[in-house]
């Protein structure tokens, strides 16, 4: 396949997964500007390494994996210079559908947030998430369960807190 | 509780900002020197389940017994202190017979009422309109409350219906999914869909449930096989039967096959029974129950799941759990055969209580472990698990596994357990 056709295909695929890229990056980084950085970097890496992708049918999973790595690399970099308390501050100027849920989401670890996102939003099976995130399927299920429990707990606390107020 | 997953699915993320999309376009432009082309210039490669999946919703199962059966087992367990042999026998009798005195699978819509719901007026005569349907169109046209539809032909491909993708009827709609439409039955009361031994209900879209049922009461599916039309190297992301917020549903003597992601997926359902079904070649789970109560899975086969491949040189992913039970209560799984599957666990149980497992024969599977349990209480007896690896996957969350006498058991007891089938099983 010639380069022009490959480029066309690549462009199309990346464009079509904009929402996925945003959600995956935002779930880990919780910061819009960082999401842009990570996605730009991931797109570049994906394009440069397109030859290493054996089966194009796996492109989406492969691209998500690259983005995930970029996000965690960025997160690691930030940890050396940004106070922990500021790492996961969502820019709530963005219109989020459910503020309480989003604030509860912040309590989760980046790994748990990513797992929730891939499972509930992107439709991946736990076994697929396990491969994508380099952990066992049991770990994925564990993260899902723990994350759900933590979210419920946070939401309950908030509603009790609101009632008291 | 019920709305939590939906809330999670809908409300967690803001809409992708337009500026972000522009960033993506700019990035694409900078790396390969062009914006996304229009459709007619694009070379389309074969897509797989990985390419386009809708958000997955955790869902679940079927019905019939419930609190009474659980209570009966517990009472029997207490009495068993002095008379183990006799009571052991009693506890292995069919839960329907021993606890609720419900008739066995007779072909009638006999489902156990949710004990928390008011009983129906028994004196009221039941009026059912029987319709014989030879085509998908005739089947769809007959969907209505108080109706029994007999499918008289072998194959019904829903995708060929004349109103496929249109508005639907009063009690069914076509819901758009990624690659087509799925049939949604809704607001039905007292409805039966009955096939013959060779009846097949098929759909083409990979992301569609073959039949989705929402907010219905007293529904019976019987004597047919349903699944997605088989294609090589393609996994489905839609389930075969998807039930949500239904009361008293019975699935009996049905074949539910892959590559449906899940054979039966039920959420928010009460009074569900899956009896005598053959669930096979599903890609992710055999049965998935979420926030369901009073469910019986009896005399079913769960086989050959998790084996579909995306290409010749890629190992199959394997399924998750053959039966997943999440946030449920009063669940009985009895006298089922589980074999030939590649999966993480046979039973995945989280946040659930009053789960009873008995008469299960598990063999010739490739499993990580047999039971994955966390934050749950389960009673297991009369089962035989032929498995050489780990038996339990557990997290730091508390869990309890009991035998029929209420004694806490662990991996050793599970490993040594022997099959004891209900002699009166259907």
Average pLDDT value for residue range A102-116: 85
CA distance B53 to chain A (A): 5
CATH of domain A1-88: 1.10.1740.10
- Long-range contacts made by residues B152-157, C-beta under 8 angstroms, separation at least 24? B152/B196, B153/B199, B154/B198, B154/B199, B154/B200, B155/B199, B155/B200, B155/B202, B156/B199, B156/B200, B156/B201, B156/B202, B157/B202, B157/B203, B157/B204, B157/B229
B349-394 pLDDT tens trace: 888 889 999 999 999 999 988 998 888 899 999 999 999 888 888 6
Residues of chain A with CATH 1.10.1740.10: 1-88
More reliable by pLDDT, A110 or B60 = A110
Q: What's chain A's average pLDDT?
A: 79
CATH number at residue B156: 2.160.20
Low-confidence ranges of chain B (pLDDT < 50): 1-2, 34-123
CA distance B207 to chain A (A): 10
A31-67 pLDDT tens trace: 888 899 999 999 999 998 888 887 777 888 889 989 9
The DSSP secondary structure of A141-157, one letter per residue, reads HHHHHHHHHHHHHHHHH
pLDDT at B104: 37
Rounded to an integer, what distance in angstroms lies between the CA atom of residue B381 and that of residue B403? 6
Q: Please name the CATH architecture into which domain A97-165 falls.
A: Orthogonal Bundle (1.10)
- Describe chain A by its helix, strand, coil percentages, rounded to 5: 80, 0, 20
pLDDT at B43: 28
pLDDT at B317: 65
pLDDT at B229: 75
pLDDT at B374: 82
Q: Is B367 helix (H, G, I), strand (E, B) or coil?
A: strand
Contact B27 A127 (CB under 8 A): no
Residue B404 lies in a domain: yes
Rounded to an integer, what distance in angstroms lies between the CA atom of residue B207 and that of residue B361? 32
Touching check for B78 and chain A: CB below 8 Å?
no
Which domain, by its residues, includes B313? 100-115+126-416
Interface of B with A in 14-53 (CB under 8 A): 14-17, 20-21, 23-28, 30-37, 41-43, 45-48, 50-53
Q: How many domains does chain B have?
A: 1
Average pLDDT value for residue range A117-123: 85
pLDDT at B160: 94
> Can you tell me the ipTM of this complex?
0.75
């Amino acid at each position: 396949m010639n380069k022009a056709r490959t480029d066309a295909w690549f462009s199309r695929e990346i464009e079509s997964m904009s929402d996925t890229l945003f959600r995956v990056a935002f779930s880990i980084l919780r910061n819009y500007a960082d999401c842009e950085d990570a996605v730009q970097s991931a797109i570049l890496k994906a394009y440069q390494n397109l030859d290493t992708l054996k089966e194009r049918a796996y492109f989406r999973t492969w691209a998500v994996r690259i983005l995930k790595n970029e996000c965690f690399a960025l997160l690691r970099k930030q940890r050396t210079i940004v106070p922990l308390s500021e790492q996961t501050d969502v820019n709530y100027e963005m219109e989020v559908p459910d503020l309480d849920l989003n604030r509860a989401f912040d309590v989760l670890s980046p790994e748990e947030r990513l797992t929730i996102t891939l499972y509930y939003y992107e439709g991946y099976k736990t076994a697929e998430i396990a491969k994508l995130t380099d952990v066992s399927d049991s770990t994925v299920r564990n993260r899902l369960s723990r994350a759900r429990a933590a979210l419920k707990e946070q939401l309950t606390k908030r509603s009790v807190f609101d009632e008291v107020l | 509780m019920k709305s939590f997953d939906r809330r999670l699915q809908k409300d967690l993320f803001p809409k992708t900002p337009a500026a972000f999309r522009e960033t993506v376009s700019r990035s694409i432009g900078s790396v390969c020197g062009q914006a996304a082309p229009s459709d007619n210039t694009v070379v389309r490669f074969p897509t797989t389940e990985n390419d386009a999946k809708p958000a997955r919703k955790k869902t679940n199962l079927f019905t019939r017994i419930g609190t009474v059966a659980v209570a009966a087992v517990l009472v029997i367990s207490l009495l068993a202190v002095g008379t183990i042999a006799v009571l052991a026998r009693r506890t292995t009798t069919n839960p329907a017979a021993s606890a609720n005195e419900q008739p066995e699978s007779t072909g009638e819509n006999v489902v156990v009422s949710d004990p928390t719901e008011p009983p129906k007026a028994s004196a009221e005569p039941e009026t059912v309109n029987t319709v014989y349907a030879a085509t998908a169109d005739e089947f769809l046209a007959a969907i209505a409350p108080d109706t029994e539809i007999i499918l008289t032909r072998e194959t019904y491909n829903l995708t060929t219906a004349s109103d496929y993708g249109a508005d639907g009827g009063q009690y069914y709609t076509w819901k758009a999914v990624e690659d087509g439409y799925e049939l949604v039955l809704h607001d039905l009361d007292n409805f039966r869909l009955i096939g013959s031994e060779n009846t097949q209900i098929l759909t083409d879209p990979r992301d569609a449930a073959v039949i989705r049922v929402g907010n219905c009461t007293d529904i019976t599916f019987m004597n047919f096989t349903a699944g997605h039309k088989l294609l090589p190297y393609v996994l489905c992301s839609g389930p075969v039967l998807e039930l949500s917020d239904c009361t008293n549903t019975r699935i009996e003597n049905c074949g539910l096959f892959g590559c449906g992601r899940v054979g039966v997926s039920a959420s928010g359902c009460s009074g569900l029974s899956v009896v005598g079904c053959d669930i096979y070649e599903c890609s992710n789970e055999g049965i998935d129950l979420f926030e369901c109560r009073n469910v019986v899975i009896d005399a079913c086969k769960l086989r050959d799941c998790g084996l579909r491949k995306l290409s010749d040189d890629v190992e199959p992913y394997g399924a998750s759990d053959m039966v997943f039970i999440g946030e449920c209560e009063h669940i009985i799984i009895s006298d089922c055969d589980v074999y030939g599957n590649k999966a993480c666990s046979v039973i995945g149980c989280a946040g659930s209580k009053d789960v009873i497992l008995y008469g299960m024969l598990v063999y010739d599977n490739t499993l990580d472990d047999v039971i994955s349990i966390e934050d749950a209480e389960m009673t297991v007896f009369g089962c035989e698990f032929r498995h050489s690896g780990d038996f339990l996957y557990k997290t730091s969350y508390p869990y309890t596994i009991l035998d029929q006498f209420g004694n806490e058991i662990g991996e050793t007891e599970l490993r040594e357990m022997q099959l004891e089938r209900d002699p009166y099983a259907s």
